[in-house]
Amino acid sequence: MLEVLHSLANLSTPLHHGIVFLFNGAEENVLQASHGFITQHPWAKQVRAFINLEAAGVGGKEVVFQTGPENPWLVQAYVHAAKHPFASVVGQEVFQSGIIPSDTDFRIYRDFGNIPGIDLAFIENGFIYHTKYDTANRILTDSIQRAGDNILAVLKYLVMSERLADSSEYRHGNMVFFDLLGVVVVAYPARVGTILNYMVAMATFLYLAKKASLPGNGGESLFSLWFVTLLSVLIVALLVTLLGRSMFWYNHFYSSICLYGAAATGKMILVHTLAKNLYYGGVRLVELGELYFDVSLLLWCCSLVWLTQQGLCSAYVPMLMVAFPLATKLLLAKEFKHRGTHSIYMYINCKCIALLKKKKKGIF
């Protein structure tokens, strides 16, 4: 905040709007400082928007995990200005659901000041946050640099924006937003997302219904595979909990993907192979690839419909997991027909893209 303040103070271009830098204390004691400012300070009534800096870890990329409420222009400001974007509406909906036992000044400004804003937080190495190992030497300079680049760029954009003069005029609806590989942020209105989700779900169900009507497709084993796969993942989770490693997924995220993903994939292949060998006289890679693809597609499509009906913007996640593999399958239908194992490879590749992240460095 001090470095951003220094940079803004030395700009040659005059700012269209003022900026208040608020260094809060008493945060861990029911957010008293932010509440005192927004309810008692004479400057509070002049504030039109805010950027709240938080931490649930000691470094990494600072993620945009709350915006608004219902001020899509703030999301658009971040989309246009942030140099190293990292944002997801999933974080917003998970946090606001109350599942995570935490709170931020965002709630104070929103509820007591009726002010829209953006909530940013470091989340990496959260298992040492607020412990005796949470020391200054563990804070990565790259993380501070990245946050400074983003916050300075977004602030410059906002203080020059005409929308900041009366932000209430632009308060309408929620936004679906997420970054792609930390390079660009995709953002669109929630109502557009609802239409898109139902279109993808309808196309998927039509595809599966048409395929299930074909003779000898093995579709009767879809639900059994679904059940056994879910059961295997729950068993792994139970074992991890009994071993006293229930937070294993938090400090070893990619290892947990391998652990649960390998269990699910292995169980699906095993059950399908046994079923085909026992009841259908042998299994072919073409059939195995097709069935794996269909089961995965059905799982994600059911999640897509349910989340959309709940009015959650997070439905974009299963939408992507359905739309890209299905589009790939339909575009390369002839190739899949002759070389069915590509169904597995292409589907896995489409999902793995979302897991790729890049680390960037810079200087003020």
Confidence band for 52, pLDDT divided at 50, 70 and 90: very high
The string over 118-146, giving b where at least 16 C-beta atoms fall within 10 Å of a residue's C-beta and e elsewhere, is bbbbbbbbbeebeeeeeeeeebbeebebb
Q: Is the pLDDT of residue 13 over 60?
A: yes
Say if residues 208 and 191 touch (Cβ distance below 8 Å): no
Confidence band for 266, pLDDT divided at 50, 70 and 90: confident
Report, as an integer, the average pLDDT of 32-55: 91
Report, as an integer, the average pLDDT of 322-340: 72
More confident residue, 198 or 162: 198
Say if residues 344 and 326 touch (Cβ distance below 8 Å): no
Q: How far is the C-alpha of 106 from the C-alpha of 266, rounded, in Å?
A: 43
Say if residues 73 and 163 touch (Cβ distance below 8 Å): yes
Q: How far is the C-alpha of 187 from the C-alpha of 179, rounded, in Å?
A: 9
Q: What is the mean pLDDT of the chain?
A: 80
Q: Give burial (CB, 10 Å; 0-12/13-18/19+) of 226.
A: middle
Catalytic annotation, residues: 27
User: What is the per-residue pLDDT for 215?
Assistant: 60
Residue 90: partners with Cβ closer than 8 Å, 6 or more residues away: 178, 314, 317
Confidence band for 356, pLDDT divided at 50, 70 and 90: very low
Where do runs of H (alpha helix) occur along 129-221? 141-159, 190-212
Q: Is the pLDDT of residue 363 over 50?
A: no
Q: Is the pLDDT of residue 197 over 60?
A: yes
- Specify the length of the chain in residues: 364
Report, as an integer, the average pLDDT of 91-118: 85
The predicted model scores a pTM of 0.71
Q: Is the pLDDT of residue 282 over 80?
A: no
Q: Is the pLDDT of residue 94 over 80?
A: yes
Region of residue 173 (phi > 0: left; psi between -120 and 50: alpha; otherwise: beta): left
Q: Return the domain boundaries, the chain.
A: 2-173, 192-355
DSSP 274-298: HHHHHHSS---HHHHHHHHHHHHHH
Q: Is the pLDDT of residue 242 over 60?
A: yes
Radius of gyration of the chain (CA): 24
More confident residue, 260 or 147: 147
Confidence band for 318, pLDDT divided at 50, 70 and 90: very high
Q: Is the pLDDT of residue 5 over 90?
A: yes
Report, as an integer, the average pLDDT of 58-84: 86
